[in-house]
Amino acid sequence: MTQLSVNINKVATLRNARGGAVPDLLQVAYDLQQMGAQGITIHPRPDERHIRYSDARALPRVISTELNIEGNPNPKFIDLVMEVHPTQVTLVPDAPDALTSNAGWDTIGQQVYLREIIAQFKAAGIRTSIFVEPVEEMIQGAADTGTDRIELYTEGYAVGYSQDPEKAISPFVAAAVKAKEVGLGLNAGHDLNLENIHYFAQNIPNLLEVSIGHALISEALYSGFETIIHAYLEKLA
User: Is 214 a catalytic site residue?
Assistant: no
User: Is 198 a catalytic site residue?
Assistant: no
User: Is 190 a catalytic site residue?
Assistant: yes
Q: Which of 70, 151, 209, 219 is catalytic?
A: 70
Q: Which residues pair with residue 185 across a beta bridge?
A: 149
Q: Is residue 47 within 8 Å of 96, Cβ to Cβ?
A: yes
190: left (phi over 0), alpha (psi -120 to 50) or beta: left
Strands (E), 122-201: 127-132, 149-153, 185-189
Q: Do you find a cis peptide bond into 23, omega within 30 degrees of 0?
A: yes
Q: How many CB atoms lie within 10 A of CB 165?
A: 15
Q: Which of 43, 50, 151, 209 is catalytic?
A: 43
Q: Which of 151, 190, 209, 219 is catalytic?
A: 190
Q: Which residues are catalytic?
A: 43, 70, 190
